Homo-oligomer: A and B are copies of this chain.
């Protein structure tokens, strides 16, 4: 049987089907939770510093290195504040859900939807940006691959999709070990780099940089650089969003992962930035800042240089994986609330949200293609959405504490209040500094998404109102010809059999029409000439079957139109509760390649007849 073969293929590709009961065991402990939930923030080391420099250097030249480290320090301080704030979110929301849940819980539906939309965009951009930055690490090491950057990014995304379709646990094991290797490699880079610099065995090349006519004030430039660097903080919310994905005690494990993440980001981000500053690295089109740094520290072409590049690709892949863990969960949550298509709720055969995973794949792939794999163009879209969700989450937490009170609520509200002010300030800076470069796209998309979500909710409510029957009595009242004396008698439906020629497939339909014993049967024929119609009519008479032969002549080769108009007229003339059955053979060609050889007339007709409420289609397959 075909479905057995298909099942076997799906097992090879996706792994064995998992029972509903297997859900509990597919959860993370701290060791595997770190790579899955913290890699996004850790990975930003590979591009955040570079983004800051890309703003500073064209204006300030080598003087950039005077302001670079303070900006990095400010971002790390911001990270510290966020960790403090999200710690409280994990405490308050053990069921997870992050900004979407917190905002809708405390600030109402619209704030929740805005936060949800911002998170969705953020997750998609995480995948797109990380894949492009990973591809940049590859092309930095192998400049010959530069024209294939977008393709490399797409391959990375496709591999991640596949891994995630196979299921949660395996994705953690598959990607876990390398994160720790990445952290180790970066620590090695930092230590060796500092030692080499301190021992004086390296002198930075004094590159000549043409500085543009700086019309912006220094403050403006620094704020813009800060806004660019804030991309380092994307992904901080993933942990609080995914609390139910942790093993028990879930909250404690989640908090441990949150701290570990902050610690690693702090050390690696600051260490690498320090080195970039010491070595006066100037990022360019061909090689990323980290690539140049590793070359300077370990020597061009050395094994350790390639190790850094490989690990960068791996950590960025992991960062994208954060989104694959987070987005489908978030979308399932929002779909359960009726704001997104219901198919996002269902878990696939491997207990993951396969539709959400596939959605993420498609959305990220489109972004990578549209921006031709250039992360510098994608990053301005990124931070504004993420900080909007941070802000709503913090604001929601303040109201949460204020309303619920409970022990120490004032301190807690104060911490989240401070977080609100800080994230609001950062968001304003980001939106102003990045508005024309892309923040407007993000904000506009958020507005559209919120509108879309409202419409979806309204649609589902209408459908449910339409379909639901409150009680069995109500259902019984709807039955036609039931035993109740009150019930309407069921009128017999007329059966129409469209016919072109008397061939085997039509005879098969004819045989089946005997199922409708008492019904009126009509054979409807569309001819291009009177003779053709007469001839078929005679054949029917000779055949001697029950029913009336009706025909219509057309000179416009539009057989389908004529048939449909006939059915429309019959439909219009139906009595109340009446219906019409159209019986048709559909030619099923087993050979897939031979299908385009047949006019899909039957399928087109069926699709077009769907508009008539009381026209039922009886399809008799004729297999070839």
Contacts and interface: CB of A to CB of B under 8 A. Distances in A.
Interface of A: 1-3, 17-21, 341-343, 346-349, 456, 459-460, 462-463, 466-469, 472, 475-476, 478-483, 490, 492-493, 502-505, 507, 510-512, 514-519, 528, 539, 542-545, 555-558, 561, 564-565, 568, 577, 579, 581, 586-589, 591, 594, 596-599, 606, 609-613, 615-624
Q: Which of A348, A542, A620 has the most CB of B within 10 A?
A: A620
B502 A475 contact: yes
A346 B601 CA distance: 13
B480 A514 contact: yes
Contact of A539 (B472, B502, B515, B597): B472
Given A597-B342, A618-B616, A619-B617, A459 B504 contact: no
Nearest to A478: B507
Nearest to A508: B478
A33 to B, nearest CB: 26
B610 A503 contact: no
Nearest to A554: B20
A624 B504 CA distance: 37
Contact of A504 (B469, B519, B528, B587): B469
Contacts of A3: 561, 564-565, 568
A465 to B, nearest CB: 10
B475 A599 contact: no
Given A349-B558, A556-B17, A511 B490 contact: yes
B510 A519 contact: no
Nearest to A528: B20
Nearest to A21: B555
A618 B621 contact: no
Contacts of A620: 616
A493 B463 CA distance: 33
Given A466-B504, A502-B469, A542-B472, A556 B516 contact: no
A581 B581 CA distance: 14
Contacts of A19: 555-556
A349 to B, nearest CB: 7
Nearest to A577: B511
Given A20-B557, A490-B511, A613 B618 contact: no
B606 A507 contact: no
Contact of A621 (B492, B543, B616): B616
A459 B558 contact: no
A479 B504 contact: no
Nearest to A619: B617
Nearest to A609: B621
Given A503-B469, A519-B515, A594-B459, A557 B346 contact: yes
Contacts of A539: 472, 475
A498 to B, nearest CB: 15
Contacts of A481: 511, 514
Contacts of A456: 597
B459 A597 contact: yes
Given A2-B611, A349-B557, A460-B597, 6 more contacts: A1-B568, A19-B556, A343-B599, A347-B557, A468-B504, A581-B618
A512 B493 contact: yes
A195 B19 CA distance: 89
